[in-house]
Amino acid sequence: MLTQFYIISMSNTIIKLAIFASGNGSNAENIALYFANNNQIKVDSIYTNKKDAYVVERAKKLGIKSYYYPKDVFTGGTELIKILKNKEIDYIILAGFLLKIPNNIINAFQNKILNIHPALLPKFGGKGMYGDNVHKAVKTSGDKESGITIHVVNEHYDEGTIVFQAKCNISESDSYTDIANKIHKLEYDNFPKVIKSFIKQE
């Protein structure tokens, strides 16, 4: 008589990502596509504080649920924590999200919130330093290089533990738009891979 043994492995548990985004959503889409065929990690849902954010359209095309909540839901945190916990979200990924994450969400997802910043922190970080504001500041500074920083989110803007940085050269002839394009390429090439590596090392 043959006896079959079934072993249930924790590795079969799907790790769920929630992406917070406020704008175009190209990084969110890139991350979702990267994990589309991964049987261990997937983008479960996308959250935005902007009703007209194009990330909502990208989510529809990807077949991913998206949710709009006004600013006070994000800054209050309590309601959103319940929503995320009910959906069994494991990690929060900030991909062009412009609001500061409140302490109660940080505590509920301790060391499980990653942000990407379009400069080499600690330079060009802090409140108001996002998107083109950063690239214009880098251009004005005359720096010969810029890059991206992926870091764990803590209670201060852009001050969490740095997980990864990548650099690109800047020439005098580069406009801030040229700098932005170089940064976007670094983001697309690296952010999904770093997310995967970060989760695997946890």
> How far is it, in rounded angstroms, from Cα 133 to Cα 173?
18
Alpha helical stretches, state H, the chain: 26-34, 55-62, 71-76, 78-86, 103-108, 131-141, 176-201
Helix (H, G, I), strand (E, B) or coil at 10: helix
Instruction: Give the strand order in the sheet containing 15-20.
Output: 65-68, 41-48, 15-20, 91-94, 113-117, 145-152, 162-169
- Contact 145/171 with Cβ under 8 angstroms? no
Active site annotation includes 117: yes
Q: How far is CA 100 from CA 53, 153, 173, 174, 186, in A?
A: 18, 10, 34, 31, 24
Catalytic residue, from 117, 135, 151, 184: name it. 117
**Catalytic residue IDs:** 117
